[in-house]
Amino acid sequence: MTQPDAIIIGTGVIGAATAFELAKAGWKTLSLDRNATAGHGSTAGSCAIIRMHYSTLDGTAFAWEGYHYWRDWAEYLGLPDGSDLAPFRETGCLVMKTPANDHLSKHIRYSAELNIPHAEWGPDEITARLPIYALDSYAPPKARADAAFGEPNGGHLKGGVYWPNAGYVTDPALSAQNLMAAAKLHGAETRMGVEVAAILQENGRVKGVRLADGEEIHAPVVINVAGPGSSHINELAGVTGDMTIATRPLRQEVVHVPAPEGFDFEHDGTIVSDSDIACYCRPEHGNNILIGSEDPECDPHDWAASDTDYNHDFTEQWTTQAMRYGQRVPSLGIPSRMRGVVDLYDASTDWIPIYDKSALPGFYMACGTSGNQYKNAPIAGKLMAALVDYCEAGNDHDAAPLQFRLPYIDRSIDAGFYSRKRPINAESSFSVLG
């Protein structure tokens, strides 16, 4: 395709969803990626958790809408019968009530307002579901160098909130490939193994891209969905000047450990978010437990110089996360050989994504999404397609933001919530929780 209507930079899960939604709407899309296969960037390293609890009402509504596409994945994609689809396991999600999250008062209120199924659990319900758990409190989370690391504070967790519809996708890279396959049914094309070296401009608007080998591809619309490389692409386009929200690549480690002997965590466990020990976990294939960090203040952020220049090896952080989770699960065995994932987030200033136009007409952004937006990919793709249509029709999204309808839950949101020019959102958790 030498003259597409829109170039999409990135074939991760959100870039692929954007291509799918634009192609369905009749756009000739060309997706570019330096990886050889769709979904093989940061999407492949995602924990792929599908949850619906957020610290803002708009974020909660967006995530609840997003859940329904994973539930109806085959119907949403429309791929031929027998296609290899990414499975969604609906395990439920338990979030511990702690002072750090105000005992989930906002989350409970937002779930009730949006009719999201949820239940408050006391200690008995928690240990009935997770008999390997001990509910001693260790807050605030501490670094391993702290002399008080691993010492309970004398308190106990009083309960949590359980969202039964939450779960995870077992193969996140495959989910992006599913979306690209669905997009191709509607005429979308891809160029893999190519790198964008310049964003072309002419007469005050975007003109297309120049690849690293010198080839130019022209299009009136370019959409930056480059994940941890998004800040570099925005710099190439020269669009950072009016942005109050920035994005940066943030290095993360995720731990894989075997479940304690005698408990089938893969089938009987659940997703757990536990700010008392600053860890979240989910079941993993082979009766393993995947453990991620909730970014407590005691852990320094490891900002990467670029999305290609970072340490790919495990560090002390791996052991810290495993041992913090061991506080909650005393029978946890910590293996001598480290297993898991080292990858990057595309983190925004307030950990809420940017789904927006830019100061350069025709150049759009779906950035700052890593860590907490995988679950929203299908509805984010719909939002980006609607935003491009809205702006290219001559509307001023900055002055009169798009009002976007969430079709499953029949609710409209102000897409200005995701503006690049918004004030830093004080309601954010300022962590991977969004």
Q: What is the CATH number of the domain that holds 123?
A: 3.30.9.10
On whether the CB atoms of residues 279 and 285 are closer than 8 A, the answer is: no
Is 431 a member of any domain? Answer: no
Domain that holds residue 195: 6-84+171-246+350-418
Given a cut of 80, whether residue 5 has pLDDT beyond it is yes
Beta-strand relationship, 29-33 and 189-192: parallel
Per-residue pLDDT reduced to its tens digit, 74-99:
999 999 999 999 999 999 999 999 99
As a whole number of angstroms, the distance between CA 252 and CA 295 comes to: 9
pLDDT given for residue 402 in this prediction:
98
Is 427 a member of any domain? Answer: no
Determine the 3-state secondary structure of 61 from DSSP.
Answer: helix
Q: Which residue has the tokens 């925005």?
A: 234
Is 305 a member of any domain? Answer: yes
Over residues 388-398, the mean pLDDT reads 98
Q: Is the domain of 143 the same as that of 239?
A: no
pTM of the model: 0.97
Q: Which ranges of 238-369 would DSSP assign to H, the alpha helix?
A: 265-268, 316-328
Beta-strand relationship, 93-96 and 271-274: parallel
User: What does the CA dihedral 88, 92, 93, 97 come to, rounded to 10 degrees?
Assistant: 170
Report the CATH number at residue 222: 3.50.50.60
pLDDT given for residue 243 in this prediction:
98
Q: Is the domain of 33 the same as that of 106?
A: no
Sheet holding 205-211, edge to edge: 196-202, 205-211, 216-218
Residue 196's pLDDT band (cuts 50, 70, 90): very high
pLDDT given for residue 1 in this prediction:
64
Given a cut of 80, whether residue 53 has pLDDT beyond it is yes
pLDDT given for residue 370 in this prediction:
78
Q: What is the mean pLDDT of the chain?
A: 96
Q: Is the domain of 142 the same as that of 191?
A: no
As a whole number of angstroms, the distance between CA 306 and CA 340 comes to: 22
Given a cut of 70, whether residue 308 has pLDDT beyond it is yes
As a whole number of angstroms, the distance between CA 92 and CA 297 comes to: 28
Is 414 a member of any domain? Answer: yes
As a whole number of angstroms, the distance between CA 209 and CA 258 comes to: 46
Identify the domain boundary among 309, 343, 377.
343
Determine the 3-state secondary structure of 16 from DSSP.
Answer: helix
Is 426 a member of any domain? Answer: no
Number of domains in the chain: 2
Given a cut of 70, whether residue 240 has pLDDT beyond it is yes
Tokens of 363: 């150049």
Q: Is the domain of 261 the same as that of 328?
A: yes
Spell out where 212-320 has E strands: 216-218, 221-224, 247-258, 271-274, 279-284, 288-293
C-alpha separations of 161 from 60, 111, 151, 397 in Å: 15, 11, 25, 37
pLDDT given for residue 186 in this prediction:
98
On whether the CB atoms of residues 52 and 32 are closer than 8 A, the answer is: no
Residue 433's pLDDT band (cuts 50, 70, 90): confident
As a whole number of angstroms, the distance between CA 32 and CA 151 comes to: 50
Identify any residues that bridge with 6 across adjacent strands, giving them in sequence order.
Answer: 29, 221
Q: Is the domain of 75 the same as that of 175?
A: yes
Q: Is the domain of 267 the same as that of 156?
A: yes
Over residues 377-391, the mean pLDDT reads 98
Over residues 268-278, the mean pLDDT reads 98
Q: Which helix (H) or strand (E) holds 123?
A: helix 123-129
On whether the CB atoms of residues 249 and 344 are closer than 8 A, the answer is: yes
